A and B are shown apart, each in its own frame.
Chain A
Amino acid sequence: GDSVTQMEGPVTLSEEAFLTINCTYTATGYPSLFWYVQYPGEGLQLLLKATKADDKGSNKGFEATYRKETTSFHLEKGSVQVSDSAVYFCARQEGSGNTGKLIFGQGTTLQVKP
């Protein structure tokens, strides 16, 4: 079935380091792809999205490119801050039509040390 796989965490980085969190998906068709972030004790916040192949989503210094050839949507940031410490979830829309069902990866915890 459809699935999303993220790299296991925790990922521990020093401030200003480069971040990559890998995400791959299985799908038929071209579903919309998303990255969400969850801070302790809170719900999920939409970080960025891409709706078609080769789209690049970006927000707050984070970027991810929809790669249909490798079925990937890796999250990157050039210089992380302590405030980026959180759990990051990659998600894909189920199917490609009218559906509010998202399939999530298992989440990757990011710890940024000063």
Chain B
Amino acid sequence: KAGVTQTPRYLIKTRGQQVTLSCSPISGHRSVSWYQQTPGQGLQFLFEYFSETQRNKGNFPGRFSGRQFSNSRSEMNVSTLELGDSALYLCASSIGGTTSSYEQYFGPGTRLTVT
């Protein structure tokens, strides 16, 4: 099976702009989670989508949003970019549903630089 794919891999944006990142989960996986990774804060959970519904949300401002499509592909959007949004954004997919182990498989990430 193909792994989790994320596009684009690298992005450079200017403060105030908005950005959309895309994630395609492993085939058959219905849950997609997003994480932000920075040297200072480490790995922080953004949100999780399951069957096109947001199921969990982390402590990020409303500028961060996401959605999931019927084929389980997910996008996240960051509006009004700030310098502090520069980070590696990681997407992870898992089977979802009623499984209790919830092992997640990560994509390679999108490196966002805000100037």
User: Residues of A with Cβ closer than 8 Å to B?
Assistant: 32, 34, 36, 42-46, 49, 51, 89, 93-94, 96-107
Q: Which residues of A contact B48 (CB under 8 A)?
A: 99-101
CA distance A99 to B105 in the complex (A): 14
Asked if B42 and A100 make an inter-chain contact with CB atoms under 8 angstroms apart, the answer reads: no
The main secondary structure of chain A at its interface with chain B is loop
B103 & A34 in contact (Cβ 8 Å cutoff): yes
Please list the residues of chain B having a beta carbon within 8 angstroms of any beta carbon in chain A. Answer: 4, 6, 31-33, 35, 42-43, 45, 48, 50, 55-56, 58, 90, 92, 94, 96-109
CB distance from A57 to the nearest CB of B (A): 10
A100 touches B92 (CB 8 A): yes
Which one of B31, B90, B98, B109 lies within 8 Å of A100 (CB-CB)? B31
